[in-house]
A = this chain, B = another copy of it.
Amino acid sequence: MKRPTIVDIARRAGVSKSAASYALNGRPGVSAQVRQRVLDAAAELGWERNQAARALSAARAEAVGLVLARPARTLAIEPFFMQLIAGIETELATRSIALVLQVTPDIDGELAAHRQWWGRRSVDGVFVVDLRRDDPRVALLAELGMPAVALGGLGHHGGLACVWSDEPRAIGTVVDYLVTLGHVRIGRVAGRPDFLHTSNRDAAFVAAAERRGGVVPSIVHTDYSGEQGAKATRGLLSQHARPTAIVFDSDVMAVAGVNVAAEMGLRVPADLSVVAWDDSPLCRLMHPALTAVSFDTFLAGTQAARRLCLLIDGGTPGGLELPVGELIPRGSTAPPQGRLGPE
Contact = CB atoms under 8 A, between A and B. Distances in A.
Interface of A: 3, 46-53, 55-56, 61, 63, 68, 72-73, 75-77, 79-83, 85-87, 89-90, 93, 96, 98-104, 116, 119-122, 225-227, 229-230, 252, 255-256, 259-260, 262-263, 280-282, 284-287, 298
A81 B89 CA distance: 15
A71 to B, nearest CB: 9
A59 B77 CA distance: 38
B86 A72 contact: yes
Contact of A119 (B48, B85, B104, B298): B48
| Copies of chain A in the complex | 2
Contacts of A75: 82-83, 86
Given A46-B119, A55-B55, A226-B285, 17 more contacts: A48-B120, A51-B122, A52-B121, A75-B86, A76-B80, A89-B101, A93-B103, A93-B104, A96-B116, A100-B100, A226-B284, A227-B284, A230-B285, A255-B255, A255-B282, A256-B285, A263-B287
A179 B89 CA distance: 46
Contacts of A63: 100
Nearest to A74: B281
Contacts of A51: 55, 61, 120-122
Contacts of A82: 75-76, 81-82
Contacts of A52: 52-53, 55-56, 61, 121-122
A86 B100 contact: no
Interface centre among A50, A82, A89 (most CB of B within 10 A): A82
B285 A255 contact: yes
A120 B49 contact: yes
**Interface SS, A side:** helix
Contact of A102 (B80, B93, B286): B93
A262 B288 CA distance: 10
Given A72-B86, A79-B77, A120-B48, A282 B93 contact: no
26 contacts: A46-B119, A48-B119, A51-B121, A52-B52, A52-B55, A56-B56, A63-B100, A68-B86, A72-B87, A72-B298, A76-B280, A77-B280, A85-B101, A86-B103, A89-B101, A93-B102, A93-B103, A96-B116, A99-B100, A99-B101, A226-B284, A229-B285, A252-B282, A252-B285, A255-B282, A259-B285
Nearest to A83: B76
